[in-house]
Amino acid sequence: MIEFIQMVVNGITAGSAYALMGLAMVIIYKTSEVPNFAQGEMALATTYIAYMLLHSLGFSMVGAFSLALLFSFALGCFLEFAVLRRAKETSILGMIVITIGLEMVLMGFVSWKFGAEQKAMPFPLTPYDSIVIGDIFISSLELLTFAVTLLLMLALFVFFRYSKLGVAMKATQQNRMAARLMGIHTNRVLMVTWGLSSVVGGIAGLLIAPVMMQPYMMWDPLLKGFAAAVMGGMTSLPGAVFGAYLLGIVENLFGGYVSLEFKSVVAFAVIVLVLCVKPSGIFARHYVKKV
């Protein structure tokens, strides 16, 4: 029984990193209906900028992380303004291909600038610091990631529900032309959306870096975050978080009781299953457009 509870707890804590990436993807999808597959590498670039500020320029951790997240916001805004906005009359498939291209460019830049070898991100907590509750071990870093995820989800829910910019983002996603006619600067809204999403992904990268820091570190969290967002609903913030925790639990139980080698396959099996049974996800509503 203790082993089962430990695997469930590990699944929940591991799901926090997936949840952050899922939240980042949902933010962009809620506004543009485009899944951003460059999300992981945007977080990767943010993480390496923080590492450069800490290791090479001697910044404090608070200063380095703050400047890195400011860079992350600027990077998201720049990519939307300089690349996505220039792709005129592009289909959803074309936009997805563009984000994949941006992913490759950003990864290539990080590998060229910083090298492909493993690095160590300075951080107050290490993956080996643990809290013991009874017979259950919980990593302090994973517990921090869990708390940050819940706080971000709550903050983003309030932002989209009650702020003018959040409502403008939802209006832009539902009908861009109508939003423009109502006086909403849709291009500006899209640019800020990319910046905000990049910051959320950057926070995920900064929390993952103490465990593993190399140019491919964000591939697995991105794919698992996308799977979680699909499971919970690509337009639902609580759905993405719930899907991430459910995926983390199922993944850990599968690895513990069935096969550790095929543990990563669970995420992709979940995507296929959810898309077959409930294409809109568990929490999102399914809309049918009539023409």
Distance CA 230, CA 213 (A): 26
Within 10 angstroms of residue 84's Cβ, the number of other Cβ atoms is: 21
Residue 191 has pLDDT above 70, yes or no: yes
Residue 104 has pLDDT above 70, yes or no: yes
Lowest mean pLDDT among 21-25, 107-111, 195-199, 268-272: 268-272
CATH class of segment(s) 2-277: mainly alpha
Sign of torsion over alpha carbons 72, 215, 227, 203: negative
291: confidence class by pLDDT, cuts 50, 70, 90: very low
pLDDT tens sequence across 206-221: 999 888 889 888 988 8
Looking at residues 254-276, what average pLDDT do you find?
77
Residue 176 has pLDDT above 90, yes or no: no
Beta carbons of 227 and 268 less than 8 angstroms apart:
yes
The pLDDT value recorded for residue 290 is 44
Distance CA 80, CA 28 (A): 11
Distance CA 28, CA 14 (A): 23
Indicate the domain borders of the chain: 2-277
110: confidence class by pLDDT, cuts 50, 70, 90: very high
Distance CA 17, CA 43 (A): 12
Taking the chain, what is the end-to-end CA distance rounded to the nearest angstrom?
Answer: 55
The pLDDT value recorded for residue 88 is 63
Looking at residues 106-111, what average pLDDT do you find?
91
Per-residue burial over 6-44, b if 16 or more Cβ lie within 10 Å, else e, is bbbbbbbbbbbbbbbbbbbbbbbbbbbebbbbbbbbbbb
The pLDDT value recorded for residue 50 is 93
pLDDT tens sequence across 37-59: 999 999 999 999 999 999 888 88
